Amino acid sequence: MNFEALLQSITGLHQHFQQQAAKAINVQLTLRNWMVGFYIVEFEQHGEDRAIYGNSTINTLAERLQHYKGMDRRALYRYKEFYLVYPQVGSLFQKEGAIALPSGLQIPTKVGSLIPQFEHNVKVGSLTPKFEESDYQISAKQLIEKLSFTHIEQLLAIVEPQKRAFYEIECIKGTWSVRELKRQIGSLYYERSGMSQKPEQLSAITKQGAESSRVRDLIKSVYTFEFLGLNPKDAVEESDLETALLDHLQSFILEMGHGFCLEARQKKILIGDEYFFVDLVFYHRILKCHVLVELKVEAFNHHNIGQLNTYLNYYKAEVQQPDDNPPVGILLVTDKNKALVEYATAGIDNQLFVSKYLLALPGKEVLEAFIQNELQQLK
């Protein structure tokens, strides 16, 4: 064995066990979520004291479980929906060699009683949406092993069973990333396939441009972080350029003495059914407004400023208090040896406010010089 062979062997070994670890975490997370949904439904239907809680069961649960990440009200509703839509997962706990549950926990022989039962090993046929929905269902084993819960969450948003089955099959066959699944749903792939005279040809074209799921995507999933009790940045290497820049940027802004108070870093916000993370959130005690800072280690593009404006509109609608001024955003973009700073003032109609903000915030030249200097130091 030469050195290159040694290197390839160790690399292959690392990738293999990393994949196995990511797969194991994903399976356990998905099974936990299904089980949570199962117990919620069972309590709502048969709980001895269910009448006491009525429709507030999930709200009360979320309040009592708030010390656990991933157990908020929205998540609990989603777990309940997961159980109702995919009753076949229960078979994994029932047959010989089944997944073991903690002592005292069990699943009755009949599961998914609120919706029709299906066989879990039925055939998978045509890729066109012309099949009968009762004849097609992904097996529990495939569902749990091939799809992350983030994939499943996207599929749960599809009401029509036949359409959902279509995307399940295509996602598993194409090993789509979550982003690719969202893109295909948004591009009406199901509808286009049904209208196409040659769906196989459309499928082949789609496969060529599809983005595959990576181990890194599973490990860095929001759900994985919550399941393991980690913060989103805990698993990022210390040498990561963006992390290092944010560390210094946070201190730099606070030391400027212009009334900045740090409120959060990697602030998690929920917009629609999707989580986002704002890099730095300050409250400016003089301007009486929130200041959102986004750092992108890439060249400027309109998506960056659009994303920041979305955050600003969210803060204006959901966070801003009656005596607060509208929030303002700072976008810092790095492209090798260049730096660019943009201020975002979405929803602020009064130009006097904008001028006042710009006077109180760090100047573009100051921030650009800071980023340039940091990039040189981190090389």
For every residue of 295-324, DSSP letters joined together read EESS---HHHHHHHHHHHHHIIIII--TTS
Cβ(290)–Cβ(314) under 8 Å? Answer: no
pLDDT value for 119? 36
281: pLDDT strictly greater than 90:
yes
Rounded Cα gap, residues 306 and 271, in angstroms: 14
pLDDT tens, position by position, 212-231 = 666 556 555 666 666 666 66
The DSSP bridge pattern shows strands 274-284 and 289-296 to be antiparallel
Rounded Cα gap, residues 310 and 331, in angstroms: 13
- Segment 81-103 mean pLDDT: 77
Q: Higher model confidence: residue 124 or residue 176?
A: 176
33: pLDDT strictly greater than 70:
yes
Cβ(266)–Cβ(231) under 8 Å? Answer: yes
- Tokens (6 digits) for 100: 């073991």
pTM of the entire predicted model = 0.60
- Sorting pLDDT into bands at 50, 70 and 90, what band is 305? confident
Relative orientation angle of helices 161-174 and 199-209, to the nearest 10 degrees: 50
Rounded Cα gap, residues 222 and 26, in angstroms: 12
pLDDT value for 310? 92
Strands of 274-284's sheet in order across: 260-271, 274-284, 289-296, 328-335, 338-344
User: What is the enclosing helix (H) or strand (E) of 294?
Assistant: strand 289-296
- The correct answer on CATH 2.60.120 for the domain covering 241-378 is no
Cβ(284)–Cβ(291) under 8 Å? Answer: yes
- Tokens (6 digits) for 355: 């001028």
Cβ(316)–Cβ(327) under 8 Å? Answer: yes
For the chain, the average pLDDT equals: 78
The domain spans of the chain are: 7-227, 241-378
User: Coil, helix or strand for 268?
Assistant: strand
Amino acid at 72: D
State the chain's maximal CA–CA distance in angstroms. Answer: 72
